[in-house]
C-alpha cells in the first residue's frame, strides 16, 4: 500500500504529532528536493507538533515534475529515515501540504505566492539555480531563467523572476511582503538574494526595486545536514520499516543544524523547538561550515571519486585519504576567527565521525558536481585568508589540483563521466590535451573564479601544477602522500 493520510503505521515509526489538515499553509518553498525534506520540512514538522500554527508548506519544483508526482498521491507525507553510526529510525513528516511543479501547476504556485496567508518563501535551488553574476552580485543575464524572465517578467520561470513577480503582486494588492529565506550554502545568503532581486527588479520592474531593497526581510541562514540521494535501497528500507511503499522517502544523518538570523517581520514557526538557533549574526557559523564541512567535502569528493571511492564512508576507510581529510579540516579551521562556544578541534572530530558513518551512502560523484559554483567560497576564500596569514597553502593547493584533475572528465582507467557543472563546456575546452601547467593557467583565467591574490601567487600556482602533474601522470593514488 502507498503511504497516505489513511495509512496505519507500526509503533516503531514516529508520525506527525498534530493533525496536518488542521493547519494552513504559511510557507511556500522553491526547490522541492531531498535536502528541503530532510531539513526545513523536518524542523517545521516538529514546530507544528510543539506550538501549532498555520505554517505548513506548499512545495514547488521549478523544473522536474518528479517531486510532485512522488508526494501528491501520498497527501504530502513522506518518510524520513535518520541513520546514526549505530541505529536507524523512521519518521513520517506531515509539514508539506501541497507539492507542485511550476510548469503544470503555475496557477496554484502564483496564487500561493500572492496569498495573504503566505508569510515566508524559502528557497533551496543550489548555487547554480539563482543566476548570480559573482563579479557584480547582481543577475547573470546569460543564465537561461534570468534571460527569459527579464524578457517576459509576467510569466516567470526562475527564482528571481518568481519572487519579484510575487512581491510586486502583493504590493499592488496592499499586502505585506513575505520574508525571503535562502537555505542554500552561499556566503551571506540573505544579502546575496536581496542583491539579486533588487538588480532583477531594477532591470524588469523598476517601480518596486526600492520596496524590495528597503521593506523585504532577507534573513541569513546556515544549514547543515548530510542528505544522500535516494536509492533503491532507501525505498526498500522504508517498506521494511513502515510497511508501505513511499516514492518520496529519503534518508539522512541523525545530526542536523540550522542557524538563522532572527528577522521575520510577519512571524515564523517555532523552529527553535526543533533545535534551530536564532542569532544576530550568522556569518561566523556560516564560514565555519562552508570552510570545514563543505570545503573538506569537496576535496574528498574529487580525490575520493578519482581513487575509486563511491561513497564518503569509503574515503574515510582509506588511511591516506582519511589523513588528507583531517589535514584539510585543520587548515580550514586555522583560517577562522575564534567563535564563542565552539571548539574547532571538536567540530573537526565530529565531522570525521559523520563522514565515517557507514549507513550514509553519500556519493562522492554527487558532491563533486557544480565545482565552479562551490570552489570560490569552500576552497579559494579560505586559501586567500591562509595566504594573508602566512599559513600553509599546500592543503588548498591539493584540493584545487584534485578539482582540476576531476575536470578532465575521465578516471585513471580512462572511464568517462559527465562533470555536471554549469561551465562544463568551458572546462572541457580549456583542459583538453593540455599540460598540467597549461591546465592551471587556463582554469585560473575563468571569470569570477580565482581571486587575484591567488591567481598572481606563482608559488601557489606551482604547488597546484606539481600536484596535478602527479595526478595525471601517475594517478590520484600517488598524489595522496604529497605534503
Q: Considering the domain boundaries, does residue 6 fall inside one? A: no
Which CATH number covers residue 301? 1.10.1040.10
Per-residue pLDDT tens over the stretch 182-215: 999 888 999 999 999 999 999 999 999 999 999 9
Distance of CA 82 to the CA centre of its chain: 19
* Band of residue 322 on the pLDDT scale cut at 50, 70, 90: very high
pTM of the shown model: 0.85
Per-residue pLDDT tens over the stretch 47-64: 999 999 999 999 999 999
> Do 271 and 314 lie in a common domain?
no
Q: Which helix (H) or strand (E) holds 29?
A: strand 25-30
> Do 253 and 292 lie in a common domain?
no
- Cα separation of 410 and 167, whole Å? 46
pLDDT at 359: 87
Q: Domain total for the chain?
A: 2
> Do 270 and 407 lie in a common domain?
no
Domain boundary among 279, 300, 318: 279
Q: Considering the domain boundaries, does residue 4 fall inside one? A: no
> Do 97 and 226 lie in a common domain?
yes
Instruction: State the CB neighbour count (10 A cutoff) for residue 316.
Output: 22
Q: Considering the domain boundaries, does residue 1 fall inside one? A: no
- DSSP-derived letter for residue 76 is T
Per-residue pLDDT tens over the stretch 111-164: 999 999 999 999 999 989 999 998 899 999 999 999 999 999 999 999 999 999
Q: Considering the domain boundaries, does residue 8 fall inside one? A: no
* Arithmetic mean of pLDDT over the chain: 96
> Do 46 and 192 lie in a common domain?
yes
**Phi/psi of residue 177, each to 5°?**
-70, 150
> Do 306 and 404 lie in a common domain?
yes
Does the structure show a pLDDT above 80 at 95? Answer: yes
> Do 205 and 306 lie in a common domain?
no
Bridge-based pairing state of the strands 25-30 and 96-101: unpaired
> Do 239 and 108 lie in a common domain?
yes
Q: Which helix (H) or strand (E) holds 79?
A: strand 78-83
Does the structure show a pLDDT above 80 at 326? Answer: yes
Does the structure show a pLDDT above 80 at 483? Answer: no
- Cα separation of 234 and 247, whole Å? 10
Domain that holds residue 156: 13-279
> Do 316 and 394 lie in a common domain?
yes
> Do 290 and 260 lie in a common domain?
no
Instruction: State the CB neighbour count (10 A cutoff) for residue 388.
Output: 10
Domain boundary among 261, 279, 297: 279
Residue 187 neighbours by CB under 8 Å, 6+ apart: 286, 287, 290, 377, 381
Residue 371 CB burial class (10 angstroms; 0-12, 13-18, ≥19): buried
pLDDT at 125: 97
pLDDT at 85: 85
C-alpha cell at 193: 538574494
Which CATH number covers residue 49? 3.40.50.720
* Of residues 304, 463, 481, 322, the one with CA closest to residue 394: 463
> Do 338 and 267 lie in a common domain?
no
Instruction: State the CB neighbour count (10 A cutoff) for residue 415.
Output: 8
Q: Considering the domain boundaries, does residue 441 fall inside one? A: yes
Does the structure show a pLDDT above 80 at 99? Answer: yes
Does the structure show a pLDDT above 90 at 328? Answer: yes
> Do 215 and 152 lie in a common domain?
yes
DSSP letters of 386-405? HHHHT---HHHHHHHHHHHH
pLDDT at 11: 96
Domain boundary among 248, 279, 310: 279
C-alpha cell at 448: 569570477
* Of residues 60, 28, 57, 53, the one with CA closest to residue 42: 57
C-alpha cell at 215: 521593506
pLDDT at 222: 95
Q: Considering the domain boundaries, does residue 7 fall inside one? A: no
Per-residue pLDDT tens over the stretch 393-438: 999 999 999 999 999 999 998 999 999 999 999 999 999 999 999 9
Q: Considering the domain boundaries, does residue 2 fall inside one? A: no
The share of the chain scoring above pLDDT 90, in percent, equals 94
**Phi/psi of residue 61, each to 5°?**
-95, 130
pLDDT at 9: 96
C-alpha cell at 464: 597546484
* Band of residue 86 on the pLDDT scale cut at 50, 70, 90: confident
Amino acid at each position: 500500500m502507498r503511504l497516505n493520510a489513511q495509512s496505519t503505521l507500526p509503533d516503531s515509526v514516529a508520525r506527525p504529532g498534530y493533525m496536518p489538515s488542521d493547519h494552513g499553509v504559511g510557507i511556500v518553498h522553491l526547490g522541492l528536493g531531498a535536502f528541503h525534506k530532510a531539513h526545513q520540512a523536518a524542523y517545521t514538522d516538529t514546530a507544528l507538533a510543539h506550538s501549532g500554527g498555520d505554517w505548513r508548506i506548499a512545495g514547488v519544483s521549478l523544473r522536474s515534475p518528479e517531486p510532485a508526482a512522488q508526494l501528491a498521491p501520498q497527501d504530502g507525507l513522506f518518510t524520513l529515515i535518520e541513520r546514526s553510526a549505530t541505529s536507524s529510525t523512521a519518521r513520517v513528516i506531515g509539514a508539506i501540504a501541497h507539492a507542485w511543479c511550476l510548469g503544470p501547476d503555475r496557477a496554484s504556485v502564483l496564487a500561493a505566492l500572492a496569498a495573504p496567508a503566505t508569510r515566508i518563501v524559502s528557497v533551496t535551488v543550489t548555487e547554480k539555480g539563482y543566476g548570480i553574476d559573482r563579479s557584480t552580485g547582481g543577475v547573470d543575464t546569460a543564465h537561461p531563467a534570468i534571460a527569459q524572465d527579464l524578457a517576459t517578467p509576467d510569466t516567470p520561470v526562475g527564482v528571481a523572476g518568481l519572487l519579484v513577480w510575487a512581491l510586486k503582486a502583493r504590493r499592488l494588492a496592499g499586502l505585506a511582503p513575505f520574508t525571503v529565506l535562502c537555505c542554500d550554502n552561499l556566503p551571506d545568503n540573505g544579502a546575496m538574494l536581496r542583491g539579486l532581486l533588487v538588480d532583477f527588479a531594477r532591470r524588469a520592474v523598476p517601480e518596486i526595486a526600492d520596496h524590495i531593497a528597503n521593506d523585504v526581510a532577507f534573513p541569513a541562514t546556515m544549514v547543515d545536514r548530510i542528505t544522500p540521494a535516494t536509492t533503491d535501497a532507501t525505498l526498500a528500507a522504508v517498506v521494511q520499516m513502515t510497511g508501505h511503499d513511499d516514492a518520496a522517502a529519503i534518508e539522512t544523518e541523525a545530526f542536523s543544524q540550522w542557524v538563522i538570523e532572527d528577522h521575520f517581520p510577519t512571524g515564523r514557526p517555532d523552529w527553535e523547538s526543533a533545535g534551530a538557533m536564532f542569532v544576530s549574526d550568522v556569518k561566523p557559523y556560516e564560514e565555519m561550515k562552508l570552510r570545514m564541512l563543505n570545503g573538506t567535502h569537496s576535496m574528498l569528493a574529487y580525490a575520493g571519486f578519482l581513487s575509486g571511492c563511491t561513497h564518503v564512508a569509503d574515503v574515510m576507510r582509506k588511511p591516506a585519504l582519511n589523513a588528507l581529510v583531517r589535514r584539510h579540516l585543520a587548515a580550514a579551521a586555522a583560517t577562522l576567527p575564534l567563535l564563542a562556544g565552539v571548539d574547532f578541534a571538536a567540530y573537526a572530530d565530529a565531522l570525521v565521525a559523520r563522514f565515517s558513518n557507514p549507513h550514509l551512502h553519500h556519493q562522492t560523484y554527487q558532491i563533486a558536481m557544480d565545482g565552479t559554483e562551490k570552489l570560490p567560497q569552500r576552497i579559494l576564500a579560505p586559501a586567500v585568508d591562509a595566504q594573508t596569514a602566512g599559513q600553509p597553502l599546500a592543503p588548498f593547493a591539493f584540493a584545487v589540483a584534485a578539482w582540476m584533475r576531476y575536470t578532465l572528465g575521465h578516471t585513471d582507467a580512462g572511464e568517462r563521466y559527465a562533470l555536471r557543472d554549469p561551465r562544463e563546456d568551458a572546462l572541457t575546452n580549456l583542459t583538453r590535451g593540455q599540460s598540467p601547467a597549461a591546465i592551471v593557467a587556463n582554469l585560473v583565467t575563468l571569470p569570477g573564479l580565482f581571486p587575484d591574490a591567488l591567481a598572481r601567487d606563482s608559488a601557489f600556482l606551482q604547488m597546484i601544477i606539481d600536484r596535478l602533474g602527479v595526478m595525471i601522470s601517475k594517478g590520484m593514488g600517488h598524489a595522496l602522500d604529497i605534503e
